[in-house]
Amino acid sequence: MRITDARAAALGAGLTILASLAGPAWSESPAWPPAWLAAVSPGGLLDPLPEAWRPVLVEGLAMPALVDPDLPVITTSVSDREPTDLRLLVTEGERWRLMEVGAAVTLRSMDAKISASGQLPYVLTDPLHKDADLDEAHEPASLGVTARVGGFEAGAQYRSAGKRLERLIRAPAAFKDREGRDVWVAQRFGVLRLRLTDSELTDNVDRNPALPRTTKDQTALTAELAPADWPVLGLTVASGDSTRVRLTHEREEGAAERHEFESVTGSAYYYGGPVWNVTASSTLSRSRPVVRPGDDLAMAYHDLSLTLHPHDSLTVTPTLSLGQERYEPSGLGVDTSTASLTLSYAPRASRWSTSSYVSYTTRRASDASTDARSVSVTGALTYALGRWLPGCTVSVEAGYDRYVDVAVPVRASQGVSGFVLLKLAAF
């Protein structure tokens, strides 16, 4: 999806206008100004009015409006931003950006809410360039819709987010290496929530040759317990089938291995306030090949992610993943481990900001057929040019990537990158 600045602004304005025109459909006697009308903030977000009487801003004019609790409250939002990773900005002369859109309708009298959201990465092109290819599409990072009535919920989501969008999208680390869809229904019983999900998700979005690529089509039942001031605890039981492929150095898929599986996952999430939060999960799974019954595969995966804010301007996010696979009856074992660390520092009163990312992955097989390691390191420094050039910045970024397989040395590769970007606010 290629979008110009004018088209992006038009889309945001269109969503806002549609939301404002749709309101009277829920009322038999709409009056002007509509009771559900909200104040338009500079960021494009329509905020519901919490008071019975409150000034409403319409194109800079303030007037009182009476809020009827039986009428729906409609909110919309559109934001457009660019990533901090310069590789996403300068690749082949194209400038990657992300459009985030959202809309929600709340019916207070029914305790109901319908919301939709999307994250759409796109490339900004020059509309005056006659040879610009406006038809080249890029997959959305996420699209979703959720409906809630009382304690009942239903929803659907599509996502496709790998390392290429690491610094562009806002999503938990566990969701950044998945692409596919899921549909669910859920019911709350006090602090207990039961959720039934049908999903088809593929990992290794960026096709790292050190890791296999697995597609899972599964049905899962999840129970979540969320007592006040305690971690949110979850237990998921799932079954389905999976297709696994090995990737070549050129990231092409090899022969597919199909399995039927059952798995149990335990998870915990704790919000420690504005300073830190932590997410942990463990999955035990057992699968059977479709074409070779009896050659079972037992798997165990453990993930830990910690987000720290030791200072208002500093964010530290370490993650750790461990995986073990054991084939029966051959006894072949494969161990995979990944560790990463993301640092970002952006003082509020300073023109300087900096960020860095480092990850290290190992994969070893007990028969020595695979002994692979991959490392990725990037660092960026940005400086705002000041009041004489408001909104203008200059950024410098350097990166290093390396992949090596001791068992198959021909697969080794490495690369170094460096970029300098001058951003002018008028462009």
pTM of the predicted model over 0.85: no
Q: Nearest CA to 285 among 240, 246, 321, 243?
A: 240
**Residue 221 in tokens:** 């039942």
pLDDT reported for residue 89: 47
Supply the pLDDT for residue 250: 67
Question: Which pLDDT value is given to residue 59?
Answer: 37
Residues of the chain with pLDDT below 70 are 1-68, 81-96, 123-138, 162-176, 249-251, 292-294, 425-427
Omega of the bond leading into 64 within 30 degrees of 0 (cis): no
pLDDT of residue 408: 86
Tokens 């079954």, located at residue: 239
Q: How many other CB atoms are there within 10 angstroms of residue 83's CB atom?
A: 19
pLDDT at position 205: 77
**Tally of CB atoms within 10 A around 420:** 11
pLDDT value at residue 342: 93
Using omega within 30 degrees of 0 as the cis cutoff, is the peptide bond preceding 33 cis? yes
Percent of the chain at pLDDT above 70? 71
pLDDT at 55: 38
402, 414 Cβ separation under 8 angstroms: yes
Give residue 114's pLDDT: 95
**DSSP of 291-358, one letter per residue?**
SSTT--EEEEEEEEEEEEEEETTEEEEEEEEEEEEEETTT--EEEEEEEEEEEEE--TT-SEEEEEEE
R_g over Cα of the chain: 25
